[in-house]
Every structure is written in structure tokens, then in C-alpha cells.
Amino acid sequence: MDTTQRTGQQRSADLRRRELLEAADRVVLRDGPHASMNAIAAEAGITKPILYRHFGDKGGLYAALAVRHTDALLASLRAALDAPAERRQRVESTLDTYLAAIEARPQVYRFLMHPADGAAAPGDQTEQGFDVGKHSAPLLRRMGEELAQVIEERLDVGPGTQQLARVWGHGIVGMMHAAGDWWLGERPCTRAELVSTLADLLWGRLAAAGDKAGGPGF
Amino acid sequence: MDTTQRTGQQRSADLRRRELLEAADRVVLRDGPHASMNAIAAEAGITKPILYRHFGDKGGLYAALAVRHTDALLASLRAALDAPAERRQRVESTLDTYLAAIEARPQVYRFLMHPADGAAAPGDQTEQGFDVGKHSAPLLRRMGEELAQVIEERLDVGPGTQQLARVWGHGIVGMMHAAGDWWLGERPCTRAELVSTLADLLWGRLAAAGDKAGGPGF
DNA sequence: ACCTGCATGTTACTTACGGTAACCCCGAGT
DNA sequence: ACTCGGGGTTACCGTAAGTAACATGCAGGT
């Protein structure tokens, strides 16, 4: 086959793939992460085997979907993180960007945080341990690494910066995630209040606070 | 039926339930969260319907299992949190207790962090939104609330303490969780180093750090 | 002794879903 | 006219959740 033809086929295949992803997106956003391959295929106007030809298995499809959304969110976060402003301002802006994203499209959020679930084939277990320590959604890991890199590049904390940056990166992302998840479920305050309170925490207000009268102190 | 007989039956049922939970525990710890009801029943020396009679459905069984382990872990954490010592010491001790627990029994950790997955019955969806904002494992929520309560009881941060305590509680727990998960997977440093670095983060070292030379600062 | 009530247990089934094998159709190239 | 490859379908398998109907064993009342 010559180059032109091959390109044509490639293009067509890529377009098809995109259409399928769009359809899958609609279904997942409508039915949640438990959407069946049949449902997705039906939404796309085709049948299961085609999905499998394109994505291998359910994990592959979900991974492809997740990468799209994750890339988009990470781009927004990078923008907030790179803006020219004071550090506190930037931290608040990044937190707010993340929270605004999960608030605007909770379904996407829910989907991204859900681990693939389709990794453990029967009888695949090496030794007796399965996939310990890989619970977190890829999105969290990627955000953690991204933030770690920014911290390492920009912050001066003496020796051991690299290690510290990674710990802090994952830690801060985890803080943001957990607080965001809880907030999204209960809505106990405005987004701005949440952002400010979290930034306060990062700014050491926990250490600075006084003990409450009467107790042995916290 | 008179009281004696009823008590006897109740006791026996409770004992049976405990035996079943023990068996389920063994299987889940051996095969991971994907353990089938058949496997669990086999381990207990019985068959499926009995499990269903006792626990309703798979979610029920898993919830019962999770509560056991969660209670145990929370008890340890409370102990560390309530020890008579300086605040920083206590925070570090609590972090270390958590990390030691997930390090010692990663399988349990993995299981606890895994959402039940068996909540979405087909056709149960109210409106078009499913269970947005309830992604986090029950363990995380419970730890967050617990910590929030301690903070609120012990810390003096002026007005709005209650709200702030809950945000911080969930935030700190999330930080601990994400950092712990990452650390458990990559083991980039010792547990003590991780604890110390995280405590540093909570103690405001992020805000206090200087900008790296050459950049616009973080 | 016999029947009744009830918890305990079983086999065998249904349903749903991920994944796959085998076949089909149609347009392009020779 | 003929085959050849890509896009598509039907029909199927294996597994696992959940259930219905049937069997068994042990109290207690008559």
C-alpha cells in the first residue's frame, strides 16, 4: 500500500475512534462509570466487537476517555499554576480552578477518580500480592507529579528539594482532592471559602493556632 | 418464642456471622477485592445463598468487612491523636500510625480504599445524576470527620472554627492518604522521612520557603 | 410418637456483562 | 469476473451476582 492510501486509512480510523470516544463519553456521562460496552456500542450505532477492535478491552476504552479529560484539566491547572502572581494568589487560583472543574462537571470528575477496575484478569496474580499501592486514579498521580515538578523548579528549600517536592506535590493534591470530594457532596460552604481555608492550612495556620482553653491542647 | 430461646438464636446467628466474616476476610486478603461470592462461600464451607441471607448482597458483606477494619484503624488513630504530647509530636505520631498500618497490611488498605462498586443497581438512577461526590471510601470520610472533631475540640482559631475544622480534617486526611498511597507504591524514602516532610508541610514550610533564583517565584 | 415451625443448607436456575469466533457484505484493484 | 481486506453483524462462551424452590435437622406443643 502506498503512503497516500495508508494515510487515508489512518485518518479514517482515527476519525472513527474519535466518534466512538464521543459516544462513549455521552453514555458514561449519562449512566456513570458502570456503563456497559453494549450500551456504548448502541449509542455509537454499532455493536460490541468494533469497540474491542479499536480499544482492546474496556480498560483501554476507559483509559482513552480518561486521558482526554485528564489532559484538559491538567492544562487548566498548569495555566493557573504558571500565572504571574504572588505565591498565595497562585495557590488559591489553582485550588479554585480544580474545584470549579469538579463542580461544573461532577460526572466527569466521578469518572476520572474511578480506578479502571478492569486490570485483574482471573489467575493473573503474581505471588499473593495484587496491585498494592496503586489505588489512586491516574489523574491524582499525574496531578501530584505535575505539582511536584513545579515545586521543585520554583521553590528553594535547601537540600533534599527533589524528594520533598514530590511528597508535597502528592500531599497537596490529596488534600485538594479529599476536601473537594467532601465539599462536593455536602456543600457546606462556598467555593471561595473552601479555597481560602485550604490555603490557610497550607500557610501554617494549624501550627500557629493556640490551644483551646481547658484541654491538654492539640 | 420466649426470651431465652430468642437470645440463643440471636447469639448463634451472630457467631455464624462472625465466622463468615472471618472467612470472607481471609479470601479478600488473599484474592483481592475481586473475590467472588462463590469463593468466599467455599472458604466458609458453605454456599452462596447463606451469604446472601446474612448480608443481603455483596455490598453488604463488603460494608460489614470494611466496618471491622475501619473501626480497628480508627481506634489506633484516636490513641495517637489523644496521647499526651506536643502538637507537632502528636501530628507526626498520628501520621506514622496511619502509614505503619497501611505498610503492614497493604491488602487491607487496598480493600478499604475501594468503593463498594456494588451500589448502582440497574435502573436505580434517580434523575440523570448518579452518586456524585461520594467517590471517597467510607474510611476516608470517617477519618476526616474524626479529625475534624478533634481539631474543633482542641484548637482555638477564633470564629468559624467548626467549618474550618471540617475542611482541615478532610484536607489533612486526604493529604495523608494520597501521600501514603504514592509512597506505598514507590517507596522513595523511609516512613520517618515521609512523616517529617508532611508535618513540615502542615507547619507552613511551603509558605516560608524562598523563591528559587532565576524564576518568577512560586 | 407425631406433627408443626423455623433456621440452615443445598441444587439449579436466571440475568447481565466482558470478551471472542465465525461469518457477511461491499467496494477497490487486477 | 474474482479475490481481498476492512467494517460490520450474529451467536456464542465463561463468569459472577442474585434468586427460587426444595431438602434437612432440631426445638416444642398435642
The per-residue pLDDT for A136 is 81
> Considering the domain boundaries, does residue B105 fall inside one?
yes
Diameter over CA atoms, chain B: 83
Rounded to whole angstroms, the Cα distance separating B135 from B38 reads: 27
Q: Indicate whether B51 and B143 sit together in one domain.
A: no
DSSP state of B164: H
Q: Indicate whether B81 and B176 sit together in one domain.
A: yes
Does pLDDT of A173 surpass 90? Answer: yes
Contact A166, B194 (CB under 8 A): no
> Considering the domain boundaries, does residue B217 fall inside one?
no
For residue A39, what is its C-alpha cell? 450500551
User: With the CA atoms of B138, B142, B143 and B144 taken in that order, what torsion angle do they form, in degrees rounded to the nearest 10?
Assistant: 100
CA of A76 to C1' of D6 (A): 39
CB contact under 8 A, A34 and B205: no
Task: Report the CATH number that the domain containing residue A178 is assigned in CATH.
Answer: 1.10.357.10
Residue predicted with more confidence, B158 or B182:
B182
Cβ burial, residue B127 (10 Å; 0-12/13-18/19+): exposed
Helix (H) or strand (E) holding A138: helix A138-154
User: Is B52's CB less than 7 Å from nucleic acid strand D?
Assistant: yes
Residues of A whose CB is below 8 A from B135: 109-110, 113-114, 181
Strand A155-156 vs strand B155-156: parallel, antiparallel, or unpaired?
unpaired
Residue predicted with more confidence, A123 or A143:
A143
Contact B34, A118 (CB under 8 A): no
B23-60 confidence digits (pLDDT tens): 999 999 999 889 999 999 999 999 999 999 999 999 99
DSSP state of B218: -
Rounded to whole angstroms, the Cα distance separating B174 from B186 reads: 18
> Considering the domain boundaries, does residue A179 fall inside one?
yes
Strand B155-156 vs strand B210-211: parallel, antiparallel, or unpaired?
unpaired
E strands, A121-197, in order: 155-156
> Considering the domain boundaries, does residue A217 fall inside one?
no
How close A118 comes to chain B (CA, Å)? Answer: 10
Q: Indicate whether A24 and A103 sit together in one domain.
A: no
> Considering the domain boundaries, does residue B43 fall inside one?
yes
CA of A8 to C1' of C27 (A): 15
The per-residue pLDDT for B116 is 56
User: Domain tally for chain B?
Assistant: 2
Q: Indicate whether A187 and A107 sit together in one domain.
A: yes
> Helix or strand or coil: residue A155?
strand
Residue nearest to nucleotide C5 (CA to C1'): B1
Diameter over CA atoms, chain A: 83
> Considering the domain boundaries, does residue B170 fall inside one?
yes
- Per DSSP, chain A holds a count of helices (H) and strands (E) of 10, 2
User: Is B9's CB less than 7 Å from nucleic acid strand C?
Assistant: yes
How close B19 comes to chain A (CA, Å)? Answer: 23
The per-residue pLDDT for B86 is 92
For residue A5, what is its C-alpha cell? 492510501
Average model confidence (pLDDT) for chain A?
Answer: 86
User: With the CA atoms of A60, A61, A64 and A68 taken in that order, what torsion angle do they form, in degrees rounded to the nearest 10?
Assistant: -160
Q: Indicate whether A80 and A173 sit together in one domain.
A: yes
Q: Indicate whether B82 and B26 sit together in one domain.
A: no
- End position of a domain, from candidates A56, A77, A92: A56
Taking residues B130-149, what's their average pLDDT?
A: 87
How would residue A132 be classed by pLDDT, with cut points 50, 70 and 90? confident
Task: Report the CATH number that the domain containing residue A23 is assigned in CATH.
Answer: 1.10.10.60
When CB atoms are compared, the residue of A156, A167, A211 closest to B154 is: A211
Contact A120, A37 (CB under 8 A): no
Helix (H) or strand (E) holding B172: helix B161-186
B30-40 confidence digits (pLDDT tens): 998 899 999 99
Scan residues 94-113 of B and list those with Cβ closer than 8 Å to A.
106-107, 109-110, 113
> Considering the domain boundaries, does residue B50 fall inside one?
yes
Q: Indicate whether A28 and A72 sit together in one domain.
A: no
DSSP state of B212: P
How would residue A137 be classed by pLDDT, with cut points 50, 70 and 90? confident
pLDDT > 90: percent of chain B:
70
Q: Indicate whether A15 and A41 sit together in one domain.
A: yes
Q: Indicate whether A162 and A143 sit together in one domain.
A: yes
A91: Cβ contacts below 8 Å, ≥ 6 apart: A199, A202
Scan residues 3-62 of B and list those with Cβ closer than 8 Å to A.
30-32, 34
Q: Residue A40 sits in which domain range?
A: 11-56
Q: Indicate whether B194 and B169 sit together in one domain.
A: yes
How close A103 comes to chain B (CA, Å)? Answer: 9
Which residue in chain B is spatially nearest to A143 when comparing CA positions?
Answer: B178
For residue A124, what is its C-alpha cell? 493473573
Taking residues A114-131, what's their average pLDDT?
A: 49
How close B173 comes to chain A (CA, Å)? Answer: 7
Contact A62, A116 (CB under 8 A): yes
Q: Indicate whether B90 and B195 sit together in one domain.
A: yes
Residues of B whose CB is below 8 A from A168: 197, 201, 206
Does pLDDT of B121 surpass 50? Answer: no
Return positions of chain C under 7 A from a protein CB: 7-12, 16-22, 29
CB contact under 8 A, B117 and A120: no
Contact A164, B209 (CB under 8 A): no
Residues of A whose CB is below 8 A from B198: 167, 171
Q: Indicate whether B42 and B100 sit together in one domain.
A: no
* Count of A-B CB contacts under 8 Å: 251
User: Is A15's CB less than 7 Å from nucleic acid strand D?
Assistant: no
For residue B200, what is its C-alpha cell? 513540615
> Considering the domain boundaries, does residue B199 fall inside one?
yes
- Positive or negative, the CA dihedral B99, B101, A198, A200 is negative
